Amino acid sequence: MILGAKEIYRLIYDKRLYIDPLFEDTVAENGLDLRIGNQYATYAYENIEVRPCELDDNEMAKLFKIEKGVDEIAIPPKSFVLLTTFEYIKLPADIVGLANLRSTLARMGLSIPPTVVDAGFEGNITIEVINNSSNTVVQKKFTKFLHLILVKADGTIPYMGKYRGQIGVRPPKGMKNEC
């Protein structure tokens, strides 16, 4: 079941859903509209071979360059950036978030891969934004970019993974112990 605005407000009022800061236009008809934070990450190197199964967390993090305190983020053509939400959220143990790029941005050639924010997740959300166009698209911090659809889930186990509690943009984890 997708949660509408009334149910989302009830979760906030009951202190089961936490959003900081909570703007008056954060809660939309059927989800949350979240803003771009003031940092982002890109690959630190170009034209290298990346082998995720051979990298631990520290080695993977070294492949990314994090820019902090920015007002604008330029996304080059045929490239991607890791953006973070300005808002810090805490989802209840029975609510899952389905992340979608706002359609206005998609109409400019931007996209995100299918992304699930697990039940019980807390932190800033790091999301991959891909520029499929042949133009550089410049985004400003605090722009609403991510629409998070909240879904009621049965039988979930709260998320306790490595991204829990993340502050700011977070590069991917290494997959050395997963392959």
Catalytic residues: 128
Strands 64-68 and 72-75: unpaired
Considering Cα of 171, then 179, then 164, then 131, what sign does the dihedral take? positive
User: What is the pairing mode between strands 79-85 and 122-123?
Assistant: unpaired
- Of 40, 23, 45, 41, the residue nearest 32 (C-alpha): 23
Give the pairing of strands 144-152 and 95-101. antiparallel
Closest residue by Cα to residue 76 from 132, 141, 38: 132
